[in-house]
């Protein structure tokens, strides 16, 4: 049998009733609160507090805060007036039982309605995200097809122009060859004429130098033009680490660059479900850029889908987890945001200047998720870690101070 709580306190204004219950050492997750417009129950085994309210309240506006060993319940009155008592003064058990059962029925109906609303909302969001993604993919497919058609037309035109040039070149070579044959025949005829004239007087007069010069000229005419020569200069910018030698982290920098290069090559294309993808869709960097575009248009669900597919292809790229964490923050999937930020920080090792900005972003996103879960101490640790990486960031300084003020304000309220 539960123990009834009697050491509670309550105050009121014209519009609100505040009830303070000691939790008697019970943890926050073990506190069960049920509230309707005429009934309030707080159950933290083995203790039970229930109130049959003096006047109806607005349950939709009412709130409850549990922490630091106390539960503070704020009930908004439906009519602005001062109550004589917190609860009704009747001792009629049947009436209280009727109120309790009616409240339980209303509460269950409310939970069922909220559950249906969430399912319908999620279904609508998924349907909308799918429609948008299909629309974008169709537009992208049309754009790619248009580019292919333009390239095909351009290639066809270039091929036709090349064939025309080859034909003209062949005609010119044929004319040159024909002219060379004519010149050779004319020179041979002149040589025979000299031979004949020299033989008339009984003496053969054959000029060997003329014959050799003729052969040399014919050989030179048939030779193609010499090829053009030239040198291509290739230069590479050196990898320079702007750190003094005694503080150099060149080894860590090289280790980081090596890990990134290996991560880009570690593509998992063996999954049966991934074999039907297009070639560009099997590229994790292409999918990351697509997710970034979705995020920029505030289509966070589509961005999450793109990042998820990229992670299935390559699980070693920290930016995929960090960017998916940002999407989960926008969608209020806070635990998933914390998980993705932690995974990104695990991959951003060793900590070097090249990944400092990425580490700072991951800390801020995880800290923001902690703060939205009211885990301000854990959130403060991440913001301080980000501030240590970027100590001159004024926005980070202001956010860190704001979290400290919240924590100090909570401590003051506890005292």
| pLDDT above 50 for 198 | no
Distance of CA 267 to the CA centre of its chain: 17
Residue-wise pLDDT tens digits, 265-323: 655 544 555 666 677 677 888 999 999 999 999 999 999 999 999 998 888 899 999 99
The mean per-residue pLDDT over the stretch 174-179 comes to 88
pLDDT band at 27 (very low <50, low <70, confident <90, very high): confident
The mean per-residue pLDDT over the stretch 73-80 comes to 89
The mean per-residue pLDDT over the stretch 28-54 comes to 85
The mean per-residue pLDDT over the stretch 45-65 comes to 87
- Please, are residues 78 and 36 in contact by the beta-carbon 8 Å criterion? no
Q: Give residue 101's pLDDT.
A: 85
The mean per-residue pLDDT over the stretch 106-131 comes to 87
Q: Among 25-39, 53-67, 128-142, 219-233, where is mean pLDDT lowest?
A: 219-233
pLDDT band at 212 (very low <50, low <70, confident <90, very high): low
Q: Give residue 272's pLDDT.
A: 54
Query: What distance in Å separates the CA atoms of residue 9 and residue 73, rounded to the nearest whole number?
Result: 11
Residue-wise pLDDT tens digits, 114-125: 888 888 888 888
Percent of the chain with pLDDT over 90: 33
Query: What distance in Å separates the CA atoms of residue 403 and residue 383, rounded to the nearest whole number?
Result: 9
Residue-wise pLDDT tens digits, 226-280: 766 767 777 766 555 555 555 556 667 777 777 776 666 655 544 555 666 677 6
Q: Give residue 1's pLDDT.
A: 72
pLDDT band at 414 (very low <50, low <70, confident <90, very high): very low
The mean per-residue pLDDT over the stretch 214-226 comes to 60
Q: Give residue 81's pLDDT.
A: 87
Decide which of 80 and 278 is more confident: 80
Q: Among 191-205, 352-366, 378-392, where is mean pLDDT lowest?
A: 191-205
- CA-to-CA dists, residue 311 to 196, 254, 278, 291, 306, angstroms: 92, 24, 16, 12, 9
């Amino acid at each position: 049998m539960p123990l009834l709580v009697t050491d509670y306190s309550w105050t009121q204004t014209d519009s609100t009733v505040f009830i303070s219950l000691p939790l008697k050492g019970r943890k926050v997750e073990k506190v069960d609160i049920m509230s309707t417009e005429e009934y309030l129950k707080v159950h933290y085994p083995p203790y039970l507090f229930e109130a049959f309210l003096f006047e109806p309240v607005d349950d939709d506006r009412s709130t409850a805060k549990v922490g630091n060993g106390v539960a503070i319940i704020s009930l908004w009155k439906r009519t602005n007036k001062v109550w004589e008592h917190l609860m009704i003064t009747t001792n009629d058990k049947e009436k209280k039982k009727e109120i309790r059962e009616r409240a339980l029925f209303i509460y269950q109906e409310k939970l069922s309605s909220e559950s249906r609303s969430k399912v319908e909302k999620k279904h609508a969001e998924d349907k909308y995200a799918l429609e948008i993604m299909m629309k974008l993919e169709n537009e992208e497919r049309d754009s790619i097809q248009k580019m292919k058609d333009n390239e095909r037309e351009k290639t066809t035109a270039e091929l036709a122009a090349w064939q025309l040039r080859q034909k003209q070149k062949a005609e010119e070579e044929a004319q040159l060859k024909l002219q060379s044959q004519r010149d050779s025949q004319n020179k041979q005829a002149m040589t025979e004429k000299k031979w004949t004239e020299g033989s008339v007087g009984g003496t053969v007069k054959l000029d060997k130098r003329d014959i050799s010069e003729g052969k040399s000229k014919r050989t030179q005419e048939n030779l193609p033009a010499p090829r053009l020569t030239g040198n291509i200069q290739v230069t590479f910018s050196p990898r320079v680490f702007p750190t003094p030698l005694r503080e150099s982290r060149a080894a860590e920098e090289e280790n980081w660059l090596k890990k990134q290069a290996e991560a880009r090559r570690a593509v998992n294309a063996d999954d049966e479900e991934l074999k039907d993808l297009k070639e560009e869709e099997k590229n994790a960097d292409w999918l990351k850029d697509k997710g970034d575009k979705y995020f920029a248009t505030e289509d966070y669900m589509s961005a999450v889908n793109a990042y998820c597919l990229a992670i299935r292809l390559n699980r070693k790229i920290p930016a995929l987890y960090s960017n998916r964490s940002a999407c989960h923050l926008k969608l209020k999937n806070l635990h998933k945001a914390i998980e993705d930020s932690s995974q990104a920080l695990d991959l951003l090792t060793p900590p070097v200047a090249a990944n400092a900005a990425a580490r700072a972003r991951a800390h801020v996103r995880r800290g923001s998720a902690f703060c939205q879960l009211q885990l301000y101490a854990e959130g403060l640790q991440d913001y301080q870690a980000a501030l240590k990486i970027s100590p001159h960031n004024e926005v980070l300084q202001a956010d860190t101070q704001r979290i400290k003020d919240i924590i100090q304000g909570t401590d003051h309220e506890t005292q």
